[in-house]
Structure 1
Amino acid sequence: MKYLHSQLTAFLVMSVRDSKPYLSLSQATELTGRLFGLTVTSIRPLPSYDDQNFHVESAESGQYVLKVMNSAASQNLHLLEVQTHIMNFLWEKGLPAQTAMPTVTGQLMSLEEIDCGFGLQKYMVRLLTFLPGTPMAKVTYTSQFLFEVGKMAATVDKLLLQMEHPHLSALQRENFIWNLASVPLLEQFLPLFDGEPIQEVVKRVFEQYRINIAPKIHCFRKCINHGDFNDHNVLVESDASSGYRISGILDFGDMSNGYFVFELAITIMYLMIESSSPLEVGGPVIAGFESVIPLNSEEREAVYLLVLSRFCQSLALGRHAVQQQPENEEYLMITARPGLRLLQLLWNTGKDKVEKIWLSGAAEFLKKSNNAVTQN
């Protein structure tokens, strides 16, 4: 295990510090024209974690997102093929997912040798549709909207059970650090919290995961997880019935084989970040999720601890990434800063009380919904 941890640390350091692309605007403009035949009228960088994204406006056909994958991820051709296929599959099923546009030669992605200032490296390049809307992080959530987000997260995972692709095994991603199954690997990052009171909470969460989640993970139902259904990867537009409707699902880079309950926990965690009543988020989200995929008893028992685990995962990996990309700290710590407070809140409130709030909230939401249907 010690060898695995050292190998994982080395990979993380390399993937964040050395493999992130740093294209200039002129390089991105040249790629867009040469690969996709578009005349760029405007281009600007977009926030990103370890890839590089550009908002592109073209003279021919509107707006796009030029996505340049980091050089480490660019080596996994089969995984990128599956991710690209998933986006198109969900769009064909009627969900508002980004899709990849073909190059002038008809390919959905192109491996390019680019010098970003430290020698030629290979980066996978895709041009994605630009979807309308505002990130969830910038709107006020209603209970109905939280229900719809939970329902959408479950719908994505359920639909992907139908998908076929010759390289689906690429989603196995053993020891993928952003999969909730990899939480035990994060204990090596505890020194990042030295001198902070929150370190003891993070340590206890990791211990509870080993005791209460790892032995029961075989009871969870398997699926393909989006894995990053967060408040910046889901776009919304105004809607008369629920306040907002989901208009875009972005960033499929963290997809991997996982479990339905993982997606639910990740969704609750991110929706807590911007909520004025974070403890009350879980109820309607659970109700929405269970309207598509009812939880079994083991899954229901695990939700609280998995939400805590995702907070710890985000905090640890965010701090590690800042060490490698200090110039990108503002974006990398979007979740981590409020995450400290919310992790402490969840831990101090305790499992029994939080679950009571969530389950009573889910029941109350469904009761109001049923009454509204009856009255209509």
Structure 2
Amino acid sequence: MRIVGVVIFGCRLSRSTTTCSVTMSKKHSKPNFSQAQASEMVKRLFELMPSVLCSLPSYDDQNFYVASPEGSEYVLKITNTEDSKNPELIEVQTYAMSFLQQNGLPTQTVLPTTSGQLISLEEIDCGYGSQKYLVRLLTYLPGTTISKVPLTQQLLYETGKTAARMDKILEKLEHPHLSLLQREKYIWSLSNVTLLEEYINVLDGDPLQEVVKSVIHQYKTCVIPKRSSFRKCVNHGDFNDLNVLVQPCQSEGYKISGILDFGGMNSGYYIHELAITIVYMMTEHPRPVEVGGPVLAGWESVLPLNEVEKDCLYVLVLSRFCQSFVLARYSVKLHPENEEYLMISCKKGVHILHQFWELGKEHVEKVWFQDAAQLSDQK
């Protein structure tokens, strides 16, 4: 049974909230459906008799791998009760996935219910009393996460190129509820790095606190005044190493076979998506400083940066590391029983943040932009 390619829906702490308050999974918000309940729902809503149904890891939501007797594969996604209160936002995310797929990118699409709905609101008691959950059945995407394969220059180049293509396509997205992606208080947006100051006390006694404070200061002084020169777009917002699937190529290496988890979508800027992509590819590379160049080269093969965007990239990358670390520590404070799970994305990131802060902007940028130029010349 091959289910590795679909186990990732927010499977790290990189985007697990939809509000500024970071009330990570209010008590009983996460669904707790039994396999029997999930199976019944698949049969009733989709007239599908599962031959295999098993639980998949997740943080806020609940996901099940579903296989039919004919060999078709799906993911049953049950949204937590808090996010289920905003069906229009889930509708935009669902439409965006379909829009990208229609424009040539490998994303999941949603199968309609027998009544023709793409999203079904189900009121069920799964142990906490009767509550409402948004339910979708998504197509299966083959492959393994990019975190599990060697990150060659070519694969990093393709990752940057794919991220840029994705945002370029999303620029054309039209939907009646598109304005919901503004998400002005969304804590994971790189437009809202200053909101971290509300949670900085979780680092009291940790030497990293001073680094985080310094990065936030750099963000205030070096990024915010220049933001008017950034080009706006719709961001996926969580283009991380667990949300990108790959498959072996016929030639050497791997190709990107899937893009997962659109729960972090927000109105942002192209440079934000690039910074996020660099951050999460670095966490899986033995020499993180070598990641930025090929990702940047791939990105600029589709969307060349302007001078202001180039100048802000270093600080935005460090800002994303700070978001991940501070919010993970805050989540551990709320859910100490989940500490090991919640800190997955931060253990390597802490070392990289220290390293890059000590190397400094001039050195890191020199490596990134020289490597990108050399690689572009070879293409």
Task: Please give the range of the TM-score, normalised by the shorter of the 2 chains.
Answer: over 0.9
Q: TM-score if structure 2 supplies the norm length? A: 0.92
Equivalent-residue separation in structure 1 for 2:178 and 2:117 (angstroms): 19
Residue number among 261, 267, 284 corresponding to 1:251 in the alignment: 261
Equivalent-residue separation in structure 2 for 1:150 and 1:118 (angstroms): 43
Equivalent-residue separation in structure 1 for 2:341 and 2:145 (angstroms): 14
Partner of 1:372: none
1:60 deviates by: 4.3
Partner of 2:93: 83
Partner of 2:15: none
Which structure has the highest helix share of the two? Answer: 1
What fraction of aligned residue pairs are identical, expressed as a percent? 56
1:163 deviates by: 1.8
Map 1:81-120; keep pairs closer than 5 Å: 81-120=91-130
Closer, same or farther: CA 344–147 of 1 in aligned 2, 3 Å: same
Residue number among 326, 331, 337 corresponding to 2:347 in the alignment: 337
Partner of 1:273: 283
Q: Secondary structure at the match of 1:12?
A: coil
User: Is residue 375 of structure 2 the alignment partner of residue 368 of structure 1?
Assistant: no
1:331 deviates by: 3.4
Equivalent-residue separation in structure 1 for 2:143 and 2:72 (angstroms): 15
Deviations 1:220-270 (A, max 9, x none): 100000000000000000114561100010000000100000000000000
Residue number among 215, 219, 231 corresponding to 1:209 in the alignment: 219
Equivalent-residue separation in structure 2 for 1:10 and 1:302 (angstroms): 24
User: Is residue 20 of structure 2 the alignment partner of residue 19 of structure 1?
Assistant: no
Closer, same or farther: CA 14–291 of 1 in aligned 2, 3 Å: closer
Map 1:149-188; keep pairs closer than 5 Å: 149-188=159-198
Residue number among 80, 103, 123 corresponding to 2:133 in the alignment: 123
Partner of 2:5: none
Contact 1:157 / 1:226 at 8 angstroms: preserved in 2?
A: yes
1:324 deviates by: 3.5
Q: Secondary structure at the match of 1:231?
A: coil
Partner of 2:142: 132
1:277 deviates by: 1.2
Closer, same or farther: CA 328–126 of 1 in aligned 2, 3 Å: farther
Deviations 1:140-184 (A, max 9, x none): 011111110000000000011112111111111111111111111
Alpha-carbon RMSD across the aligned residues, in angstroms, is 1.7
1:304 deviates by: 0.5
Unpaired segments ≥5 residues, structure 2:
1-17
After TM superposition, the runs of 4+ consecutive aligned structure 1 residues lying more than 6 A away are: none
111-120 or 121-130, which deviates more: 111-120
Residue identity opposite 2:295 in structure 1: V
Equivalent-residue separation in structure 2 for 1:241 and 1:302 (angstroms): 37
Closer, same or farther: CA 255–214 of 1 in aligned 2, 3 Å: same
Q: Secondary structure at the match of 1:113?
A: strand
Closer, same or farther: CA 97–267 of 1 in aligned 2, 3 Å: same
Map 1:351-366; keep pairs closer than 5 Å: 351-366=361-376
Contact 2:19 / 2:187 at 8 angstroms: preserved in 1?
A: no
Partner of 2:42: 32
Residue identity opposite 1:170 in structure 2: L
Closer, same or farther: CA 16–136 of 1 in aligned 2, 3 Å: farther
Q: Bigger relative contact order, structure 1 or 2, given CA contacts below 8 A and separation 6+?
A: 2
